[in-house]
Amino acid sequence: MVMKGIAHWPRKSMAVVGSSLGGYYATYVAGMTRCRAVLLNPAVHPARDLMRYIGDQTAWHDPAEHFYFRPEYIHELRAMEVGPLTRPERVFAIIAKGDEALDWHEMSARYPDSNIKLLEGGDHALSDFEKAHLDDVMAFINPV
């Protein structure tokens, strides 16, 4: 759906930003289009990490809300895996060592030739995003 939605976007000037699983999707889009991408604590092995959640789940923001995580979602995630990026310099990753959900070592290793801002602390949500990182993101997306 995303690739259809962006089919007519100008590849040279477009950019995508994704956080966590959205970072995985942004990596896919960047891999397919070679556009700029900003990844915020990106998931790098979601098929592996989410496999244990197959079945009935509750939404984190509303435990009364249920959904069913289907096995085919794992296959869809695997189908979106991209190898080494052909334009790694067009990727900027902000990675927090204090991320409580994802391993910063795996995130850093996934983007070895990309621009990485490695934070000593932080959290998965990058709670200080607007104050501490937004300017860096905008500068990367809109280079002078």
Res 60: pLDDT: 82
Average pLDDT of the chain, as a whole number: 95
**Structural domains in the chain (count):** 1
Interval 12-28 mean pLDDT: 96
Res 114: pLDDT: 97
Which amino acid type is present at position 38?
Answer: V
Domain that holds residue 6: 2-141
For residue 108, name the pLDDT band (cuts at 50, 70, 90): very high
- Look at the pTM and tell me if it is higher than 0.85: yes
CATH label of the domain that carries residue 111? 3.40.50.1820
Res 7: pLDDT: 94
Which backbone phi and psi does 76 adopt, to 5 degrees?
-65, -40
Interval 41-60 mean pLDDT: 96
pLDDT over 70 for what percent of the chain?
100
